[in-house]
Chains A and B, each alone.
Chain A
Amino acid sequence: DGGITQSPKYLFRKEGQNVTLSCEQNLNHDAMYWYRQDPGQGLRLIYYSQIVNDFQKGDIAEGYSVSREKKESFPLTVTSAQKNPTAFYLCASSTVGGNSNQPQHFGDGTRLSIL
């Protein structure tokens, strides 16, 4: 079945440590996105990529980094510069085309906590 796979499901980070969240899709989608969700809030866009080897900052990119070396993969690194990383991280993908965003398909998410 086609879909988006995020791993791990749960992740714990020590102070001063960088961690990388994995996101893989086999939907052949050009665009991929990373969101952060905190309790009682909507989804906030961290980074997005509409094509391989290119990505753009979203609304809350500070303390995060991404790469898009392959169409299928869009890993997110939470760096030690992100002082409040505890959150639910969601990866999504979509096709690209037309005058509007296409519907996004989401992975099951990664819950990151600080030890």
Chain B
Amino acid sequence: GQQVMQIPQYQHVQEGEDFTTYCNSSTTLSNIQWYKQRPGGHPVFLIQLVKSGEVKKQKRLTFQFGEAKKNSSLHITATQTTDVGTYFCAPSDYKLSFGAGTTVTVRA
């Protein structure tokens, strides 16, 4: 499967602040999916990006696919305690390959 690197691996955020997590590939991706896994839970699908330069928003979450389709990002504004968890990007060809994830903790 296609390999991606997610940075940072850990993100500790003050409640109310913004942060961004990045997903980088050395090869061009056909599309990419993002998942969120709460502590002790299972991954839940958030979004799929397909087009070059695509930007999609879900409330406080903004997902972007790079122009070259080699990277993607997730930006969260005004972080809340409900945002705690691990966010995975997953480029998909014939099967999904998950990145190592960015684990987010929030201090109130």
Contacts and interface: CB of A to CB of B under 8 A. Distances in A.
A45 B1 contact: yes
Chain B contact residues: over half helix, strand or loop, or mixed?
loop
Interface stretch (A17-25, A66-74, A76-84, A105-113): A105-113
B43 A90 contact: yes
A79 B28 CA distance: 37
Interface of A: 33, 35, 40-45, 48, 56, 58-59, 90, 92, 99-101, 103-109
B95 A58 contact: yes
8 contacts: A43-B88, A45-B97, A100-B31, A100-B92, A100-B93, A101-B94, A103-B48, A104-B43
B100 A100 contact: no
Contacts of B68: none
